[in-house]
Amino acid sequence: MRIKNICCIGAGYVGGPTMAVIAQKCPKVKVTVVDINEKRIKQWNNPDVEKIPIYEPGLSEIVKEARGRNLFFSTDVDKAIDEADMIFISVNTPTKTYGIGKGMAADLRYIELCARQIAAVAKTDKIVIEKSTLPVRTAAALRDILDSTGNGVKYQILSNPEFLAEGTAVEDLKNPDRVLIGGEIETEEGREAVDALVNIYASWVPREKILTTNVWSSELSKLTANAFLAQRVSSINAMSELCEKTGADINEVSKAIGMDSRIGSKFLKASVGFGGSCFQKDILNLVYIARTFNLKEVADYWEQVILMNDHQKRRFAANMVQTMYNTVAGKKIAILGWAFKKDTNDTRESAAIYVADYLLNEQAEIVVYDPKVTEEQIYSDLDYLGSRSGDANRQAVTVVDSPYEACEGAHAIAVLTEWDEFKELDWQKLYDQMLKPAFLFDGRRLLESKSKKEIGFEFYAIGN
Ligand code: NAD
Ligand code: UGA
């Protein structure tokens, strides 16, 4: 089966970069990324590629190369579905905010809408691919919806979860550890569909890294991978608190355990808490699934990863207040970094939002600097929490374009994203501008401590 036309529904953090790389690597395949969000599509089509809606190192160059050649962004969802042989569903699957499973289960309404739209529009056979992260057995629901139109169109449903991490999306897509494809490998049609997708990836990924499984294993592997990764962060963060009480240093502990090849050195960096759109939502979803099968111990076990993460964010903020003589009311606190990690403009579930909210509840004045996050986004993140009115957020929080401006006259600095540029700041200059004693809280273990203490900072770093 030769694929000539690909459609991807959802032009977000996954759909955009993934399709850009497919288009770059398969120049003979036409790739159309569609979205109902007109503003987002307009941004993807911005003649100035530096203004595309997602910041990822290397992405704008790829968009520049492929856009208009075989990569297109459009709001005409029906047309793209109609023309495609292969349709990726890459829409958001947030945590439900209403009804059964509120606060836990994945909200599948956008997925279902896509399936219904495909069923309504398709006139020729299609391979439909779950790119979004979904609860195990979602493919069965998709099949029900797609098969119920009775118009004779045949569908193959594949699961092809995405493992890219933001900030390194392009590199992860170009050189993935593995590509996972789940399909009905026991039937001939199912195998053909799997092969068609394998062939797309094989344009640049070595065959031995392309793993094929049954659909359910593929769906569950994605949730499992995120749960394991998040668990490592919560595990090291749990140890960071113990380090602070005992004189051990979390970086030394990480190094010591990471050299054990069975443990491995990656994902052992203590932090103010993991953020991002997926770890929390996917674990909550996993917990919910376990609960629906009455697997109480399994559910409780994984839920602890989230509880530990919430504790870490709260504990960091509480420690700031305690260190600053138990009050931050009326004090100016500079937050350096708002994104949930470096090299992305994504702020979803960023620890910075929760630390700022905690400090605002203590009546601090906050000034934020982040090299990639807009003022509009920062206010929208705080407003979304609903802790106070939009006006109150705008009164208590200022967003500035320079770290030096942020720190002028501040009582304290909190480093909450590990942007490389923060290491290179003129820390003496920052210190000179601040009120004394000048507190510096490093939530990322980014800064070298000795030189900061020599300058005169009251320096606190997580896990030290
Ligand atoms: P996103 O919110 O950035 O993008 C989703 C897009 O889908 C939005 O632009 C939205 O307008 C669009 N959309 C929703 N319903 C639509 C419809 N019916 N028709 C057309 N467009 C529609 O989300 P994301 O971060 O790209 O995540 C997408 C999925 O991928 C999620 O399931 C997520 O768990 C998973 N995932 C995300 C990442 C990541 O790094 N962000 C990594 C791996 C997997
Ligand atoms: C994560 C996974 O790494 C991807 O494989 C997955 O595809 C993606 O979720 C998803 O499903 O959305 P992402 O959230 O983009 O990717 O970024 P990570 O690098 O995993 O970082 C997540 C959070 O954990 C960040 O806040 C980061 O600062 C934090 N983290 C990570 C630590 O605190 N310590 C670490 O050692 C590693």
Distance 406 CA to ligand 2 centre (A): 27
Which distant-in-sequence residues (6+ apart) come within 8 Å of 96 by Cβ? Answer: 102, 103, 104, 105, 106, 107
| Confidence at residue 2, expressed as pLDDT on a 0 to 100 scale | 87
Find out whether the beta carbon of 434 lies less than 6 Å from any atom of ligand 2. no
Find out whether the beta carbon of 15 lies less than 6 Å from any atom of ligand 1. yes
Q: Using CA positions, which residue lies closest to atom 37 of ligand 2?
A: 267
Distance 319 CA to ligand 2 centre (A): 24
**Ligand 1, closest atom to CA 10?**
7
Q: Considering only CA atoms, which of 114, 127, 120, 121 is closest in space to residue 85?
A: 127
Find out whether the beta carbon of 11 lies less than 6 Å from any atom of ligand 1. yes
Measured CA to CA, the distance from residue 288 to residue 294 in angstroms comes to: 10
Mutate to test the pocket of ligand 2, among 18, 132, 159, 229 (most ligand atoms within 8 A of CB): 229
pLDDT band at 236 (very low <50, low <70, confident <90, very high): very high
Measured CA to CA, the distance from residue 316 to residue 62 in angstroms comes to: 39
Measured CA to CA, the distance from residue 167 to residue 239 in angstroms comes to: 26
Distance 438 CA to ligand 1 centre (A): 42
Query: If you average pLDDT over every residue of the chain, what do you get?
Result: 97
Measured CA to CA, the distance from residue 459 to residue 443 in angstroms comes to: 11
Distance 170 CA to ligand 1 centre (A): 17
Number of residues that this document lists for the chain: 464
For residue range 319-333, what is the model confidence (pLDDT) as tens digits?
Answer: 999 999 999 999 999
Task: Determine contact, residues 384/350, Cβ cutoff 8 Å.
Answer: no
Q: Considering only CA atoms, which of 173, 171, 151 is closest in space to residue 162?
A: 173
By annotation, the residues acting in catalysis are 162, 222, 278
Distance 462 CA to ligand 2 centre (A): 18
Task: Determine contact, residues 340/346, Cβ cutoff 8 Å.
Answer: yes
| Confidence at residue 149, expressed as pLDDT on a 0 to 100 scale | 80
Q: Using CA positions, which residue lies closest to atom 34 of ligand 2?
A: 269
Mutate to test the pocket of ligand 2, among 131, 132, 166, 344 (most ligand atoms within 8 A of CB): 166
- Which residue's structure tokens are 């702020």? 347
Q: Are strands 397-399 and 179-182 parallel, antiparallel or unpaired?
A: unpaired
Q: Considering only CA atoms, which of 357, 162, 182, 370 is closest in space to residue 278?
A: 162
pLDDT band at 266 (very low <50, low <70, confident <90, very high): very high
Percent of the chain with pLDDT over 70: 100
Q: Is the pLDDT of residue 228 over 90?
A: yes
| Confidence at residue 315, expressed as pLDDT on a 0 to 100 scale | 98
For residue range 34-63, what is the model confidence (pLDDT) as tens digits?
Answer: 999 999 999 999 999 999 999 899 999 999
Q: Considering only CA atoms, which of 362, 299, 276 is closest in space to residue 13?
A: 276
As given in the structure block, the two tokens for residue 329 are 């009311």
pLDDT band at 306 (very low <50, low <70, confident <90, very high): very high
Q: Considering only CA atoms, which of 410, 407, 432 is closest in space to residue 422?
A: 407
Find out whether the beta carbon of 93 lies less than 6 Å from any atom of ligand 1. yes
As given in the structure block, the two tokens for residue 148 are 């119920």
154: alpha, beta or left, given left = phi > 0 and alpha = psi -120 to 50? beta
Find out whether the beta carbon of 276 lies less than 6 Å from any atom of ligand 2. yes
Residue 260 has a CB neighbour count (10 Å cut-off) of: 9
pLDDT band at 100 (very low <50, low <70, confident <90, very high): very high
As given in the structure block, the two tokens for residue 271 are 């932090």
**DSSP β-bridge partners for residue 367:** 334, 398
Find out whether the beta carbon of 41 lies less than 6 Å from any atom of ligand 1. no
Phi, psi of 155 (to 5 degrees): -120, 140
Which ligand is nearest the CA of 272, by number? 2
| Confidence at residue 151, expressed as pLDDT on a 0 to 100 scale | 84
Measuring CA to CA, how many Å separate 387 from each of 62, 126, 316? 41, 46, 19
| Confidence at residue 337, expressed as pLDDT on a 0 to 100 scale | 98
Distance 135 CA to ligand 1 centre (A): 15
**Rg for the chain, CA atoms, rounded:** 24
pLDDT band at 150 (very low <50, low <70, confident <90, very high): confident
Measuring CA to CA, how many Å separate 270 from each of 12, 193, 237, 247, 279? 29, 42, 5, 15, 16
Task: Determine contact, residues 403/377, Cβ cutoff 8 Å.
Answer: no
Which ligand is nearest the CA of 164, by number? 2
| Confidence at residue 69, expressed as pLDDT on a 0 to 100 scale | 98
**Ligand 2, closest atom to CA 13?**
12
| Confidence at residue 1, expressed as pLDDT on a 0 to 100 scale | 77
Q: Is the pLDDT of residue 365 over 80?
A: yes
